[in-house]
Amino acid sequence: GKIQTAQRASTFNTENANRLVREGMGITPDARITGEGLAEIRSEAGKAYAAIKELDAPIIPTDEYLLKISSIGGDFKAAAKEFPDLLKNEKIDTLIASLSEPTEISGRGAIEVVKKLRADATANLKAYDRPERQALGFAQRKAAEAVDGLIEQHLEKSGNKSISDQYRKARETIAKSHDVEAALN
């Protein structure tokens, strides 16, 4: 009947999804997928950040980076020009000003600001009933992407392409692990 078919499909889909997650995250086929295991994967991937934190040469904001930062806020910022009393978001303005200000950024500073921006974006994007917080969350996510791009560009220009590749892979692994953890039940 329909119920048995649905149960079989659910079991098959769960097993298949778990297999794909294990493969994608580098988890052995017989291991359970747990929050602790995913935290360990994030910790291992996060080691790629250490090389960037220890960079000797400062990261110099480029025109491309500054353009990306100035465009943060998108539709919400444009609408705020028409309805400033209703839609002005000073936190987005502060974000743009703060990220446009430095003329040099240390590797440590770049990594820490990206981590903060991503964490804050995640929290703000969950405020479904608060459009100003969601707009800030989208702005924070775009800002983190801009800083990530600046880091990668700096690494590649300074002959550290392998560190750039490791950093990109670590970010992807960490993001995937958070997605998997959010889906655990």
CB 84 within 8 A of CB 93: no
DSSP symbols for 96-124: HHHHHS-S-B-HHHHHHHHHHHHHHHHHH
Task: Report the mean per-residue pLDDT for the chain.
Answer: 88
Q: How confident is the model at residue 125 (pLDDT cuts 50, 70, 90)?
A: very high
Q: In the structure encoding, which two tokens stand for residue 135, read together?
A: 């707009």
The pLDDT of residue 11 is above 60? no
| Strand partners of residue 105 | 59
**Residue 77, Cβ neighbours under 10 Å: how many?**
19
Tokens 């295991």 appear where? Answer: 37
Lowest mean pLDDT among 53-57, 60-64, 106-110: 53-57
Give the mean model confidence (pLDDT) for residues 24-34.
83
Give the mean model confidence (pLDDT) for residues 117-128.
94
Chain-centre distance for alpha carbon 152: 14
- pLDDT tens profile 60-91: 999 999 999 999 987 777 787 888 887 778 89
The pLDDT of residue 9 is above 60? no
- pLDDT tens profile 128-180: 999 889 989 999 999 999 999 999 999 999 999 999 999 999 999 998 888 88
Q: How confident is the model at residue 124 (pLDDT cuts 50, 70, 90)?
A: very high
